[in-house]
Amino acid sequence: MTASEFDCFYKDTFDIFVSYCENNYYSLDAEDVVQESFTKILSKLHHIRPNKEYFFRVVENVAKQKLRTQSRYQKRLEEYEKLDQSEQEVYNSSRKEEFLETLKLKSKDQELFNMVFLKNKKQSEVAKILKTTENNVNVKVFRLKNKILKMYQEIMAQND
């Protein structure tokens, strides 16, 4: 397929595919999905001869991938929002000192807590100090936040 044939194909089918995406994948930006699909087709243009059926399949696959990514992102965002709210409760609590005293963390967790939350060190600095990867520190901080959140909720439930 030549470039001029591809241009004609693009002009003839773009609106059709956008309409298809809007009707079937309404939570996505249809034009982005179609544009990304055309980019994929264009990169493989010398191997295949695209037709409408093939392109519908590419559009569906791109849209499904975007939905999966969007879903994962939304779940992570909700988890972080919950943790952020709980963190704010801990920091704003008049019982902050009491809470910190009752934290019974392992020495490694305590060290991580002190560096990240009390000394406000960046995770890249913490990774160098602990001689591990920044990704690993990120995971440990996330788990530590969850552990602290659970402890905080238990303490608050006991005090009520």
Q: In tens digits, what is the pLDDT along the chain, a chain of 160 residues?
A: 667 777 787 788 888 888 877 777 766 778 888 888 888 888 877 777 767 788 888 888 888 888 777 777 777 667 766 666 666 665 555 455 555 665 677 778 878 887 887 778 888 888 898 898 988 988 888 888 888 888 777 777 777 6
If asked whether residues 63 and 102 sit together in one domain, one would say no
The CATH number assigned to the domain holding 109 equals: 1.10.10
If asked whether residues 100 and 44 sit together in one domain, one would say no
Domain extent at residue 64: 3-72
- Write the CA distances from 35 to 12, 31, 40, 55, 75, integer angstroms: 14, 6, 9, 12, 26
pTM of the model: 0.43
Whether residue 85 lies inside any domain: the answer is: no
Say how many domains are in the chain.
2
Whether residue 115 lies inside any domain: the answer is: yes
If asked whether residues 62 and 105 sit together in one domain, one would say no
End-to-end CA distance of the chain: give it in Å, rounded: 72
